[in-house]
Structure formats: C-alpha cells, structure tokens
Amino acid sequence: MAAGKESFNEFWQHYLRHHAQGGTRMLHMLGTGLAALALLAAIITVDPLIALAGTALGYVLAWTGHFLIEGNRPAMVSHPAWAFQCDIRMFRLWITGQLKPELEKAGVA
C-alpha cells in the first residue's frame, strides 16, 4: 500500500496483516521490549550507546521475522513514523491482552 494514499487506520490494518504470524509478532515484542529496556538503562547510566545498541538489536529481531517468517518487507520501509507508532501500539495491546480483537479486525486469524 502506498503510504501517501492511506489513513493511519488503513496503515494499521496493513501493518497487522504484515505481522500475521505469531513468530513475527513475538520477535517484534522481544525487540520492542529490549529497546525500551535499553532506553531505560541508557537514561540511568547516562550512556546513549546503550540506547542505540538496544534499538539496533530490536530492529534486527523485528526485521528477522519479516524476512525469515513472513517473507515480506518491513512496513517501516514505506512509512517509518507510522510503523514506529504501530510497533508501540502493537506492543501496548499485546501487554494489555487487547491485541487479538485488532488482529481479527484486520483479517488475521
């Protein structure tokens, strides 16, 4: 989907369909969680390299799911800002147990 021709909600549905496999979502949760912990550690230790390394490793994990499990291109390529927002949203919904209904709305079994 072309990023300039869709709303954020349409992109969100597209994003969820690109994360249809549980393994891909799990790698994203692990990567997002790791990046968040690295950010917290960087703030505590006043070492920005920890945040950079954690973020880089988080993206490596997430992209691995796309290339090895889903066989698709990460959504970040088409719309980086919205993809980041969707990563955080998916992580929050997963932690609160509210992800399944969103996946169902997007047509992900």
User: What are 4-34's pLDDT values in tens digits?
Assistant: 578 999 999 999 999 999 999 999 999 999 9
* 56-82: average pLDDT: 93
Predicted confidence (pLDDT) at residue 56 exceeds the cutoff of 70: yes
**Residue 68 burial (CB < 10 Å; 0-12/13-18/19+)?**
exposed
Instruction: Please give the radius of gyration of the chain, using alpha carbons only, rounded to the nearest integer.
Output: 14
Query: So what's the pLDDT on residue 14?
Result: 94
Domain count, the chain: 1
> Is 34 a member of any domain?
yes
Residue 61: CB atoms within 10 A of its CB come to 19
* 49-78: average pLDDT: 94
**Residue 72 burial (CB < 10 Å; 0-12/13-18/19+)?**
middle
> Is 9 a member of any domain?
no
Domain span at residue 54 reads 17-105
Q: DSSP letter at 5?
A: G
> Is 61 a member of any domain?
yes
* 71-95: average pLDDT: 93
Task: State the distance between the two ends of the chain, measured CA to CA, in whole angstroms.
Answer: 21
Residue 87: CB atoms within 10 A of its CB come to 23
> Is 45 a member of any domain?
yes
> Is 49 a member of any domain?
yes
Predicted confidence (pLDDT) at residue 39 exceeds the cutoff of 90: yes
Nearest to 103 by CA among 27, 18, 30: 18
Instruction: Give the residue carrying structure tokens 């499990």.
Output: 69
Query: So what's the pLDDT on residue 78?
Result: 83
Query: So what's the pLDDT on residue 28?
Result: 96
**Residue 71 burial (CB < 10 Å; 0-12/13-18/19+)?**
exposed
> Is 5 a member of any domain?
no
> Is 93 a member of any domain?
yes
> Is 72 a member of any domain?
yes
- Give this prediction's pTM: 0.88
Mean confidence (pLDDT) of the chain: 94
